[in-house]
Amino acid sequence: MPAFANGQRYLSRNGPERERFSDPDAAWGHRSAVSTRKGGGFYGFKLHAAVCTRTGLPLAWRVESANHGDALFALPLMDAVRERGFIPETCAMDKGYDSRAIHDGCEAVGCRPIIAQIRQQKARTHNDVPTCAHGSWRFAGADFGRKATKWRCPTGECSPKSVWLKADRRNPLIPRETKRWGDLYRGRAAIEREFGRLKHQYGLAPLRVRGLAKVQLHADLTMLARLTQALARARAIPLAA
Ligand SMILES: [Zn+2]
């Protein structure tokens, strides 16, 4: 959310440095490209939200200055979601959230992380799945209790024919090469749709208040309106029937 202020460091070209800022809490941050919009820097605040992929509704959210990384708020938001009585079975996140802390934090509360992977150039493989002369080994099921995945030689000629891998960031219980992972990851589109709705239909943007506390209140009120309308619609259906 761009601030109701400009973040120029100088008062004029070659002029003196700015000393008073109209929004002292706003900060420069980065946003990734979405659809046809380019990514890049912006000055303002970020709305971090956990959105239900079934209903498209926000379950928990918080507003912070834009200079904070997204990953910082993933686990606190998950906690907030659970405190509100929702028990997510899976949680899709982009590769900005690909860390061991977030992976393990999700697993610790029984939620399967569906996180896109940061591909490191020097890493030879993107996971620890064995390969043999017959090709790379295939996923053969997960044991959620033991927190391990089973992998098999594609032709079954190797001995042993299969191996169990302990789940971790590189080898999640729902492996990235499965269709299930892809389907769940595509659920992430829900959050971009919801941000669009909040901004364009519910008046979240453009901001016309300044300071973190007021911007947070503005976001809370926007969410209140959003959720109230959704509740009213949900209640209207049985009455009409
Ligand atoms: Zn083999």
Distance (Å, whole) CA 55 – CA 207: 26
Residue 99 is assigned to a structural domain of this protein: no
pLDDT per residue as tens digits for the range 99-153: 999 999 999 999 999 999 988 777 778 888 999 999 999 999 999 999 999 999 9
Asked if 66 and 26 count as a contact pair (C-beta separation under 8 A), the reply is yes
Distance 148 CA to ligand 1 centre (A): 20
Please give the C-alpha separations between residue 146 and each of 1, 164, 168, 173, 203, in angstroms, as whole numbers: 42, 10, 12, 10, 47
Residue 210 is assigned to a structural domain of this protein: yes
Neighbours of ion ligand 1 (CB under 5 A): 132, 134, 153, 158
- Which of 18-22, 31-35, 186-190, 237-241 is predicted most confidently? 186-190
Structure-model confidence comparison of residues 32 and 201, the more confident one: 201
Distance 151 CA to ligand 1 centre (A): 11
Distance 137 CA to ligand 1 centre (A): 7
Please give the C-alpha separations between residue 233 and each of 52, 168, 173, 190, 202, in angstroms, as whole numbers: 17, 41, 37, 19, 16
Distance 63 CA to ligand 1 centre (A): 51
pLDDT per residue as tens digits for the range 40-80: 889 999 999 999 999 999 999 999 999 998 899 999 999 99
Per-residue pLDDT band for 239 (boundaries 50, 70, 90) equals low
Question: Which residues touch 206 (CB under 8 Å, ≥6 apart)?
Answer: 2, 4
pLDDT for residue 240: 57
Distance 159 CA to ligand 1 centre (A): 8
Distance 176 CA to ligand 1 centre (A): 21
Query: For the chain, what percent of residues have pLDDT higher than 90?
Result: 79
| Signed CA dihedral, 177, 179, 181, 182: sign only | positive
Q: What angle do CA 139, 140, 145 make, to 5 degrees?
A: 105
Report the domain count for the chain.
Answer: 1
DSSP-assigned letter for residue 93: E
Check pLDDT > 90 for residue 34.
Answer: no
Residue 110 is assigned to a structural domain of this protein: no
In the beta sheet, which residues pair with residue 49? 61
Helix 100-108 vs helix 74-83: crossing angle, to nearest 10: 10
Residue 144 is assigned to a structural domain of this protein: no
Average pLDDT of the segment spanning 178-195: 95
Query: For the chain, what percent of residues have pLDDT higher than 70?
Result: 98
pLDDT per residue as tens digits for the range 12-26: 888 888 888 899 999
Distance 128 CA to ligand 1 centre (A): 15
Question: Residue for token digits 């009455």?
Answer: 239
Render 109-161 in DSSP notation, one character per residue. Answer: TT-EEEEPPP--SS-S-SS---EETTEEPEEEEEETTTTEEEEE-SSS-SSSS
**Order of strands, edge to edge, in the sheet holding 27-31?**
27-31, 40-51, 58-65
Average pLDDT of the segment spanning 186-204: 95
Helix 189-200 vs helix 212-240: crossing angle, to nearest 10: 100
Across 20-34, 193-207, 211-225, least confident range: 20-34
Residue 72 is assigned to a structural domain of this protein: yes
Residue 60 is assigned to a structural domain of this protein: yes
Distance 113 CA to ligand 1 centre (A): 29
Boundaries of domain holding 6: 1-85+188-241
- Which of 90-94, 115-119, 235-239 is predicted most confidently? 90-94
Residue 103 is assigned to a structural domain of this protein: no
User: What does pLDDT average to over the chain?
Assistant: 92
Residue 130 is assigned to a structural domain of this protein: no
What is this structure's pTM? 0.89
pLDDT for residue 12: 82
